[in-house]
Amino acid sequence: MTKPKVLISDKMDPNAARIFEERGCDVDVITGETPEELKARIGEYDGLAIRSSTTVTQEILDAATNLKVIGRAGIGVDNVDIPYASGKGVVVMNTPFGNSITTAEHAIAMMMALARQIPQADARTQKGEWPKKDFMGIEVTGKTLGLIGAGNIGSIVASRALGLKMKVIAFDPFLTEERAVEIGVEKVDLDTLLARADFITLHTPLTDETRNILSAENLAKTKQGVRIVNCARGGLIDEAALAEKLESGHVAGAALDVFQTEPAKESPLFGLPNFICTPHLGASTTEAQVNVALQVAEQMADYLVNGGVTNALNMPSLSAEEAPKLRPYMGLAENLGSLVGQLAHGNLTRISIEREGAAAGLSGKPIEGAVLAGLMRQYSDTVNMVNAPYLAKERGLDIRSIRHEKEGVYNTLLRVTVGTEDGDRSVAGTLFGAEAPRLVEIFGVRIEAELEGHMLYIVNEDAPGFIGRIGSLLGDNGINIGTFHLGRRTSGGEAVLLLSVDQAIPADVVKKACALQGVKVVKPLSF
């Protein structure tokens, strides 16, 4: 058998290459190439091991004709087009915990450096100025730290900050009261955090919900004299707005490890006296780099040599026998989880996953994993079908799997119900034939739709003329409708419209749809 061939395309601890070789792979380490060079080379490899410098685009994936697995030695996978990789059958893995302590420590180091202006004082002292009068710092003891995102890294930051005798508050829609108590933080909403925090640190993935979470509007809601640290992802803060707030003195200091565009060669923040930064060094310690290098090489070699799957973001762990029967249900389950995750807002406290008819005869765990992965992918890019149930339980979500062997209207059905602050919300789907998944119910309304690509969910008053109005709005904005699905609670009552469209719907079009007569809810969805 020919040996699988792996390319390590980013700077990685040498242990990775050693492990690949020991586990029966050929390995090349070629770093710093341009996208064109990588595109020309990638066709010969079965595995690609990366950190954050390589961006795996559709173009690279199209050229990667032999590629079977991409391994990210780290957490964030926003540099990999995962949906496209999934379409190409390429497994994407990450190492969800190997660098979390290190990154949390970097955030704490940045916070302390801000409090005492250490980089600025160091630079001037080394110039021979001895500027003792210019640097009056603040204590962190007794100050309030506001965490935006309290997952792995956020909760480690919390524990370190509590050790520094800070009061810690956190905004995270997936943080339960119980988990908040467990990690010693007070759960608050975003506006409360902005108003109360003396320091804000960010620890979320970059998603549609978190992009620009510190926008100009939200920065204006922060406390006078706040200090801000971002060691998560660049797009979380509006950098121009932050620069204005630093110049006006409203924000007393900011420390960034990550930038909207990396490598950051210029920025409105550069040169401001109360700004400090590092070049995406959050994960750069010997310990973390050994951890992630060993882990990624072990996981990738295991997959390439033995077919074992660990920490995959786009593939469930399945036995060879069950796999063909379960596969169509997995896609349906993940989409139903994703649908409730995208539509049911607020704090989710419980979820039930019901299998009815033929589905009751299948193993519940992979289906549960797929539903939870779909649900939690809205909140975390480290989630996969293996770790989703664990993460959900850790965050206090009450999970129930229920089997009903008796068939209902459909000979096979999956139903997902979440408990929210506004009551239970339920969606259900079936398989047409053996393979074709369909949504058949959404929040009590019967509807029949394929969940695929970009979609638009609308709840409106059931009255004549609405379909024409929404059709014209999308048409006028150059948005092509693929499929159109209607359902309603009662004639003249509430109607649901689910459209598939050929592109993501821009925010201004969503706003105009909200303003149409009779509209109650508009939500763009993606699957």
- Minimum distance from residue 56 beta carbon to ligand AKG (Å): 14
**Which strands sit side by side in the sheet containing 398-404, from one edge to the other?**
398-404, 350-357, 412-420, 423-432, 436-442, 445-449
Contact between 203 and ligand NAI per CB under 6 A: yes
Contacting ligand AKG (CB under 6 A), which of 7, 42, 46, 52?
52
x-marked contacts with ligand NAI along 325-354 as a string, rule CB under 6 A: ------------------------------
Q: Name the residue whose CB lies closest to ligand NAI.
A: 151
Picking from 376, 336, 337, the residue whose alpha carbon sits closest to that of residue 174 is: 376
Smallest distance from the beta carbon of 103 to ligand NAI, in angstroms?
A: 4
Nearer to ligand AKG, 11 or 365 (CB): 11
From the list 21, 33, 244, 262, the catalytic residue is: 262
Q: Determine if 258 is a binding residue for ligand NAI (CB under 6 A).
A: yes
Distance CA 6, CA 208 (A): 33
234 binds ligand AKG (CB under 6 A): no
Helices and strands (H, E) in the chain, number of each type: 17, 22
Contacting residue, 98, 205, 357, 369, with ligand NAI by CB under 6 A: 205
Min dist CB 1 to ligand AKG, Å, is 32
Query: How many angstroms separate the CA atoms of 139 and 11, rounded?
Result: 37
Residue 262 catalytic? Answer: yes
Q: Which residue is nearest to ligand AKG (CB)?
A: 74
Which has the closest alpha carbon to 174: 341, 338, 363, 352? 341
Asked if 379 and 385 touch (Cβ cutoff 8 Å), the reply is: no
Q: 233 an active-site residue?
A: yes
Rounded to whole angstroms, the Cα distance separating 458 from 466 reads 11
490: which DSSP letter? Answer: S
Stretch that binds ligand NAI, among 85-93, 217-225, 378-386, 501-509 (CB under 6 A): 378-386
| CA 347 centroid distance within chain | 17
148 binds, among ligand AKG, ligand NAI, none (CB under 5 to 8 A by kind): ligand NAI
Residue 429 binds: one of ligand NAI, ligand AKG, none (C-beta under 5 to 8 A by kind): none
Contacts to ligand AKG from residues 261-300, by CB under 6 A: 280, 282-284
Nearest approach in angstroms of CB 9 to ligand AKG is 12
The Cα 495–Cα 20 span in angstroms is 56
- Contacts with 356 (C-beta within 8 Å, 6 or more apart), sequence order: 403, 404, 406, 407, 408, 410, 412, 413, 414, 415
Interaction between residue 316 and ligand AKG (CB under 6 A):
no
CA distances, 275 to each of 113, 245, 278, 342 (Å): 10, 11, 11, 36
Residue tagged 């955090």 (tokens):
193
State the Cα–Cα distance between residues 524 and 512, nearest whole angstrom: 13
Contact 81, 60 (CB under 8 A): no
Catalytic residue among 23, 106, 179, 233: 233
The residue from 47, 74, 389, 437 that contacts ligand AKG (CB under 6 A) is 74
Listed ranges 57-65, 144-152, 449-457, 464-472: which one lies at the site for ligand NAI (CB under 6 A): 144-152
The site string for ligand NAI over 237-256 (x = CB under 6 A, - otherwise) reads --------------------
Q: Which residues form the interface with ligand AKG (CB under 6 A)?
A: 51-52, 74-76, 99, 280, 282-284
> What residues act catalytically?
233, 262, 280
